[in-house]
Structure formats: structure tokens, C-alpha cells
Copies of this chain bind each other. A is one copy, B any other.
Amino acid sequence: MSANGHSHHIPPRSGAAFELKAGEELIVIDPEGGQVADLLAVSLADIREMLSSGRTLDYAERIYLTTGDKLYSNRSNVMLEIVEDTVGRHDFLLTPCSEATFRLCYDNEPPHQGCHGNLAAALAPWGVTDDAIPVAFNCFMNVPVDGETGRFKVLPPLSKAGDHITFRAEMDLVIGLTACSAPASNGGSFKPIHYRIVPKDEGGTASDG
């Protein structure tokens, strides 16, 4: 364990949830490279306040977010700010993969509850319901959009082993985080995700210790 706390490991195709207090930093690490982590944020004070892709994109005037960008709630409050990003490509357009994703989008994949089911299960102890889960911030997910036609592709992430993105909490939050379950998002492989919580005023480092 380092001065900044140890790494938590999320096994392939699973999820976790934990509290992140205002001022704390969350480092989401892709330990092997090429893996997606869906991130959801819910206000600890009132679970009806949660991450909003539509608010965030509207205020950023960009669909690709990176260092310096703020993630807003459905009440237009800042929940998280991206304070470090070694990859620079994430997705905030698509919902977490779900049982329906496997049914509708994959011909040869056995059903899986996906990131949606994993987030719902992980966040249930805080009272978050399945129906309430919105578009997540999909760390490392690589969804280039063709601006002319509007078509997009889900390509393998650009992240390499050890790459990370760091968020600072601007309010007390419950975070849901997954190691993504959808083959297309991860270039066909399923790998773990690591994360670390950096206490307020300690300053983050990303070494995966």
C-alpha cells in the first residue's frame, strides 16, 4: 500500500460501487490496456441527482472530453472534474451494455447482464434502481463519429497498459465503475480495471501499487 492507498481490482465483466467524498480523487487505471470502464456518479445526498451526458456535453460544446472538463449532474451541478488523462479518448454517448445489448447487437454472444446489470447490482445498496441508470461516462471507450453522416464505430480503446484518467469529486458521491463486458468495446477481450482513491490534499500519482 502506498501513501495514496492501494489499488482496487475490478475483475473482467464485473462492477463495483464506493463512496467518493468531495475533494477526493479517483484514478481509473487500465492495467493491461485496451479495456473500457463505465463510470456513473450519483449524489450521496440525494440519489435522484446523477450524472447527465446531455448537460455535460451541452456545457462542454464537445462530445469528446478530457483534462479540464467538468461532468455535470441532471441538476446542472458539477459532480466530477477530469484532472488528468493519459489517453484522451472516452465516450459519453452510449448507455452501458446490457442484456438487451447482447440480444440486439451480438449474434454469437451468450447473454450477459453487462455493465448496466453490473452497475445496477453494485449501486443497489444505495437505492439506485435499474431504470434510473443513465448514459455512463465510458472511460477509454473509443467511439469516433463521422460528422458528415453521423455514423459512429466502436473501436478498440487507445489506452495502453497503465494508462489512466483521474477525476476529482466536486460533491460527495457514490461511484459505480465497471470492467466492461461488451466484446466490441474492448477489441474482443475482457480485462480487469483497477482504481485508486486519493484522499483530499494528498495529490494523485498513478503508479498502480
Query: Are A59 and B93 interface neighbours, CB within 8 A?
Result: no
Mark each residue of chain A from 61 to 87: 1 if its CB lies under 8 Å from any CB of chain B, else 0. Answer: 111110000000011100000000000
- Comparing A12-20, A22-30, A147-155, the segment that makes contact with chain B is A147-155
Which B residues are CB-close (under 8 A) to A48?
129, 131-132
Query: Are A134 and B54 interface neighbours, CB within 8 A?
Result: yes
- How far, in angstroms, from A92 to B55 measured CA to CA in the complex? 12
Main secondary structure on A side of the interface with B: loop
A169 at the interface (CB under 8 A from B): no
Closest Cβ of chain B: how far from A171's Cβ, in Å?
15
* Chain A interface bracket (under 10, 10 to 19, 20 to 34, 35 or more): 35 or more
- How far, in angstroms, from A106 to B117 measured CA to CA in the complex? 39
Which B residues are CB-close (under 8 A) to A131?
48-49, 74-75
Given A62-B152, A63-B152, A152-B61, A54 contacting B94 (CB threshold 8 A): yes
Mark each residue of chain A from 28 to 52: 1 if its CB lies under 8 Å from any CB of chain B, else 0. Answer: 0000000000000000000011001
- Comparing A96-104, A157-165, A190-198, A200-208, the segment that makes contact with chain B is A96-104
- How far, in angstroms, from A175 to B74 measured CA to CA in the complex? 20
Given A131-B74, A145-B145, A146-B147, A95 contacting B58 (CB threshold 8 A): yes
Looking at A104, A149, A150, which has the most chain B CB atoms within 10 Å of its CB? A150
Closest Cβ of chain B: how far from A99's Cβ, in Å?
8
